[in-house]
Amino acid sequence: MIYSKMLAAKAEKRKQISVLIDPDKPTIRELESLAQLAERVKADYFFVGGSLLTNDHLGICIDTLKSNSSIPVVLFPGNNLQISAKADALLFLSLISGRNADMLIGRHVIAAPYLKHSKLEVIPTGYMLIESGKTTSVEYMSNSLPIPSDKNDIAICTAMAGEMLGMKLIYMDAGSGALNPVQTSMIQGVNNNVRIPVIVGGGIKTPEKAIENCNVGADIIVVGNSFEKHPELLSEMTAAIHSV
Ligand code: 1GP
């Protein structure tokens, strides 16, 4: 089970890396080589999804990842169309930083019967969007306000409430391609106040930044954009995170 792997890694203080794949972006050839590289360097997870997909590539994307690596594929769905039984697990994201009822529970009601009949491991995840210096796709598409980047107290209380509501993960996201990643003081504050694993992503470009985040309590680092532009960074980033 994927969630038990996340818990075990946290208990052993092993930091993990997830490679975020937007199914629209890479070619099959690029995906194959990224999957093979991720397998060689022992990346921990693939997260697959996006705020808005404009092609029907989700299935082929998962097939390509699976036929070129043994790394678990976890859906990170921007909407209900991004559910596929080909994946191993799904982050059942409730947008707890926002006040859009549809993103908090509405979409979940629609997805629930499909998920119940699938073999997907469903992982309840408190998703917190953090302001990042520009309007991100997720902010616009989710029609929700992000938490201001300097309001650590709001982030901490939101994460605490998420844990009390039974979420199994907290995902702090500055959004894909964020100008400013989530600040370390906010990650530290959240980590000090919840026991569940903390995922951090959005705008992480360097191994140094990833290490800094891990040192203040991030358990899983998610990187998407940077690997799209510089796949060779995957090796260095994975080694850095695994060395913390
Ligand atoms: C976005 O956290 C992810 O949801 C990753 O962001 O693409 O900026 O690495 P980047």
User: How far apart (Å, rounded) are the C-alpha atoms in residues 104 and 126?
Assistant: 9
Q: What is the pLDDT of residue 89?
A: 98
Q: What is the pLDDT along the chain (244 residues), one digit of tens a residue?
A: 999 999 999 999 999 999 999 999 999 999 999 999 999 999 999 999 988 898 889 999 999 999 999 999 999 999 999 999 999 999 999 999 999 999 999 999 999 999 999 999 999 999 999 999 999 999 999 999 999 999 999 999 999 999 999 999 999 999 999 999 999 999 999 999 999 999 999 999 999 999 999 999 999 999 999 999 999 999 999 999 999 9
Residue nearest to atom 1 of ligand 1 (CA): 176
Q: What is the pLDDT of residue 146?
A: 98
Q: Give residues (CB < 6 A) around ligand 1.
A: 20, 173, 175-178, 201-204, 222-226
For residue 154, what are its two tokens?
């709001």
Expressed in angstroms and rounded, the spacing between residue 175 Cα and the centre of ligand 1 is 5
Expressed in angstroms and rounded, the spacing between residue 67 Cα and the centre of ligand 1 is 24
Q: What is the pLDDT of residue 56?
A: 87
Which of 223, 226, 229 to probe ligand 1 with, by most ligand atoms within 8 A of CB? 223
Three state DSSP letters for the chain: CHHHHHHHHHHCCCCEEEEEECCCCCCHHHHHHHHHHHHHHCCCEEEECCCCCCCCCHHHHHHHHHHHCCCCEEECCCCHHHCCCCCCEEEEEEECCCCCHHHHHHHHHHHHHHHHHCCCEEEEEEEEEECCCCCCHHHHHHCCCCECCCCHHHHHHHHHHHHHCCCCEEEEECCCCCCCCCCHHHHHHHHHHCCCCEEEECCCCCHHHHHHHHHCCCCEEEECHHHHHCCCHHHHHHHHHHCC
Which of 138, 173, 200, 227 to probe ligand 1 with, by most ligand atoms within 8 A of CB? 173
CA of 177, closest atom in ligand 1: 8
Q: What is the pLDDT of residue 152?
A: 98
Expressed in angstroms and rounded, the spacing between residue 180 Cα and the centre of ligand 1 is 11
CB 240 within 8 A of CB 19: no
Expressed in angstroms and rounded, the spacing between residue 7 Cα and the centre of ligand 1 is 22
Helix axes 207-215, 184-193, angle to 10 degrees: 30
Expressed in angstroms and rounded, the spacing between residue 176 Cα and the centre of ligand 1 is 4
CA angle 209, 136, 88 (to 5 degrees): 70
Alpha-carbon 159 to chain mean position: 15
CB 172 within 8 A of CB 144: no
Expressed in angstroms and rounded, the spacing between residue 178 Cα and the centre of ligand 1 is 7
CA of 20, closest atom in ligand 1: 5
